[in-house]
A and B are shown apart, each in its own frame.
Chain A
Amino acid sequence: MYEKNGEKYFVVDGHMHYWNAAPDNWVPGAEQYARGWIECFHAYQGLGPPETHWSIEHFQKYSEDDLMKDVFEDGHVDVAIFQPTYLLEWYKEGFNTTERNALMGERHPGKFVYNTRWDPRDGDEGLKTLRRNVERYGSKGCKLYTAEWNNGSRGWKLTDVGAYRYLEACQELGITNIHVHKGPTIWPLDKDAFDVSDVDHAATDFPGLNFIVEHVGLPRIEDFCFMATQEPNVYAGLAVVTGGLMHARPRFCAKVMGELLFWVGEDKMLFGSDYAIWEPKWQVEGFVDWEMPDSEEFSDYPRLSTAGKKKILGLNAARLYGIEVPAEYQLQGQPVG
């Protein structure tokens, strides 16, 4: 929770990680990919304030204590949602799996939501694992990384036949929140891997599921926004917007925020720190302080009120995940939950 000027904010970190990307976890023969991946993440951290930069060694592998301090003690977060990313071809135990997250999270009851993941190329075995994860960890959401490499394949789309089987299974199992993260590769490689039209189709075909497009579809923010205006069940995951732009490029951050408020709206935007890429503390504090600049260039963007900030920082995610919000943090006259 965070309090500023008498206003109380309930903070749900909608996108964070507990990874091990140190050399002890690199798959022999795939070291260059494991190293390339974590170095790429580390470069993203470079877009945050200098005093929040970590050494690459610390960034590769941080401890449970580090996470608890950075996210909850210092970072103002009330509940954090683990978004697993497996990358088993590069990391022996996976980059951050549902199991690894839960093993740690179970020592801190009430603090975490355990999302799981699936990959349509895993076929029937993957469906069994999905069921088991939902039973074991109570997952209500899953994170899909479409650029994951799997047995010679460089990626997949939500419209693949195999993917629809999994989306049907999600409906049946009570998974309601599908977080989609696009990456640089899909099959076939000659298409735009960041294209979000497959999410558009899936959102139309599965109206009972919520599709949270992570990183607001970056680098295809415009395509994402056009889609989100048309699909009532499509949401914007803000990870990267605050972390990658608020400090490094404040004016672009304001423009992107303005566009999101216009096209998507404050009821469908979810804060995410993307920890450990960026620590939540400066992002939460900066977001609460943030205001649309006054100049003419920004004049026709919607303004973001304190109530809007409360929704984005936590109340919207609490609604999607059924997280209980104490009365003092709810909007006046508008119970959420």
Chain B
Amino acid sequence: MSATGTVPTEHAILVALEAVRDPELDEPITSLGFVASCTVSPDGDAQVWLRLPTYFCAPNFAFLMVADAYDAVAALPGVRTAQVVLADHFASAAINGGVAARAGFARSFDGEAVGELHDLRRDFLRKAVLAGTDQVCRPLAAAGTGPAGLAALTLGQVPPSRALDRLRQRRAELGLPAGDQAPLVIDPVTGAAVGPGELPLHLRKARITAISVQANGSICRGMLRHRYATAGLNESDQCEEEPG
């Protein structure tokens, strides 16, 4: 039986999947090209097929994406059943079966894992905060704001941008201060403000974190393109440069 009587469109399911991110790359699985197909029956049985750049992509991150996609689709009004299938992966059976059974990671990989993936997700959200700090601070620094100026800024004083919204959202997800009065530059573990003295090194770390994530993303995209001839649903390259 469908929950509301109105079955969501495939478009609505794709929109829901845009909220699911690759935890390492901090990007929606849709724009990365990971959504191979998406269907929904008149009765509200939704099915999503996911794919990854390699057969051996890390199984823990793969599990998170499949589980998050399941949650996003299953939560849509009008969805009677949700099925998310990861294709062409060495651990497809364990992941797909585990997510379908709502078994959690440790039970899905019996004997191979000791815990769930909350810590892993948190660690990568911290990296996303660091990378996001770079995205927000670099234009300010280029425009002449020095370490003391950056250390004194609050989130509310920074001109609005997509990068800023994203940084605030990631901080909020971690339970870190994200309101207008919160300092712009904080330690992503403790939430403490970063002072002017530590700020240059902090921003150096933020920059390499951003570059690392972007470089990984570009390699993943290149490999996915090699592996599959067709683009994923709603795939888009948000990358700043074209292949040379």
Contacts and interface: CB of A to CB of B under 8 A. Distances in A.
A222 B212 contact: yes
Nearest to A38: B55
B57 A184 contact: yes
A250 interface: yes
A256 B217 CA distance: 13
B120 interface: yes
B211 A248 contact: no
Interface in B71-130: 90, 105-106, 109, 112-117, 119-120, 123, 127
B243 A248 contact: yes
Interface string A146-177: 00000000100000000000000000000000
B223 interface: yes
Interface stretch (A11-19, A40-48, A100-108, A307-315): A40-48
B120 A252 contact: no
B209 interface: yes
B25 to A, nearest CB: 9
Contacts of B105: 189-190
Contact of B123 (A192, A222, A296): A192
A240 B211 CA distance: 15
A4 interface: no
A244 interface: yes
B11 interface: no
Interface string A175-204: 000000001110111111110000000000
Given A43-B226, A263-B208, A189 B56 contact: no
Nearest to A245: B215
A187 to B, nearest CB: 7
A33 B55 CA distance: 8
Given A190-B60, A191-B120, A218 B215 contact: yes
A219 B216 contact: yes
Interface in B215-244: 215-216, 218-219, 222-223, 225-227, 239-241, 243-244
* Across the A-B interface, the 4 shortest Cβ-Cβ residue pairs: A36-B55, A46-B226, A184-B58, A221-B212
B1 interface: no
A5 to B, nearest CB: 22
Contacts of A188: 112-115
B55 A221 contact: no
B34 to A, nearest CB: 15
B219 A190 contact: no
B24 interface: yes
Given A44-B223, A256-B215, A225 B90 contact: no
A46 B220 CA distance: 11
A33 B89 CA distance: 10
Interface of B: 24, 53-60, 90, 105-106, 109, 112-117, 119-120, 123, 127, 142, 204-205, 207-209, 211-212, 214-216, 218-219, 222-223, 225-227, 239-241, 243-244
A305 B55 CA distance: 40
Contacts of A37: 55-56
B120 A46 contact: no
Contact of A222 (B115, B209, B218): B209
A220 interface: yes
A297 B216 CA distance: 19
Q: Chain B binding site: helix, strand, loop or mixed by DSSP?
A: helix
A218 B219 CA distance: 10
Interface residues of A, number: 45
User: Interface centre among A47, A184, A187, A247, by most B CB within 10 Å?
Assistant: A184
Nearest to B94: A189
Interface in A46-66: 46-47
A296 B116 CA distance: 44
A306 interface: no
Contacts of A249: 215, 218, 222, 239, 241, 243-244
Nearest to A223: B212
A136 interface: no
A32 interface: yes
Nearest to B115: A190
Contact of A189 (B113, B218, B243): B113
A259 B219 contact: no
Given A43-B227, A248-B243, A190 B58 contact: no
B215 A183 contact: no
A190 B216 contact: no
A255 interface: yes
A144 B24 CA distance: 24
A248 B218 contact: yes
Interface string A279-308: 000000000000000001000000000000
Given A154-B112, A190-B120, A248-B244, A36 B56 contact: yes
11 contacts: A32-B90, A43-B54, A43-B222, A43-B227, A184-B58, A189-B60, A189-B105, A190-B106, A221-B212, A249-B222, A251-B241
